[in-house]
Amino acid sequence: MTTTTVPARAAWSAVVPAGHLLTITDLHGNQAVDCLVYDAHDTAVRYSAPDTIHAQGNIFLTTGSVLLSNEHTPLMTVVEDTCGRHDTVGGACSKESNTLRYGHHTWSQHACVDNFLAEGARHGLGKRDLVSNINWYMNVPVEQDGTLGIVDGISAPGLKVVLRAETDVLVLVSNCPQINNPCNGFEPTPVQMTIGDGTAA
């Protein structure tokens, strides 16, 4: 078993072998963890939000949710979730979206897209390999009229989500640096990533 504490605003990546468990622990509570998943042997096969949402008939992820690829094959399955709900539609913050939403003065702020590009480059991935991502622990309610909100999280210190790799997968994470909305409680904090052999979470 390997455990890594990912600092606030930082990126992380690892290959999780088939059958192994990845546990993402929200150490301090209310910290969004942006995540992308790829087939470790063919990164053209990667997490697909549309396939995943369509297959499960739900825009939120929780225990039992299967993360499907763009080829409709299973990449990972959520086998335990003590938070209860995670976002699939809010996307990753970027310099461009920060400027549009919060003003030009935010242009220089670090963003999840920066993390994904820097960490992905270590595995031969580039901008064209970025797709719609998962936001673990992020609370994005959808109103009756389709309006999305980014509001205070429903997580708490020590809550975790556990995923089982259904094939060898490459997981990229951006421990979200956003400070302009409540997704991180306006103060990003560390999270913990644990990879186990499947016998214990």
Task: Give the pLDDT score at 97.
Answer: 66
Q: Is the pTM of this model over 0.85?
A: yes
Task: Give the pLDDT score at 106.
Answer: 67
Task: Give the pLDDT score at 140.
Answer: 81
Task: Give the pLDDT score at 110.
Answer: 66
Task: Give the pLDDT score at 176.
Answer: 86
Sign of CA dihedral 12, 26, 52, 94: negative
- Triad 108, 13, 136: Cα angle to 5°: 75
C-alpha 130/C-alpha 101 separation (Å) is 21
Q: 113 burial class (0-12, 13-18, 19+ CB within 10 angstroms)? A: buried
Q: Which residues of the chain fall below pLDDT 70?
A: 94-95, 97-102, 106-110, 148-150, 179-182, 199-201
Q: Which residues contact residue 100 at a Cβ distance below 8 angstroms, ignoring those fewer than 6 apart? A: none
Task: Give the pLDDT score at 141.
Answer: 73
Task: Give the pLDDT score at 201.
Answer: 46
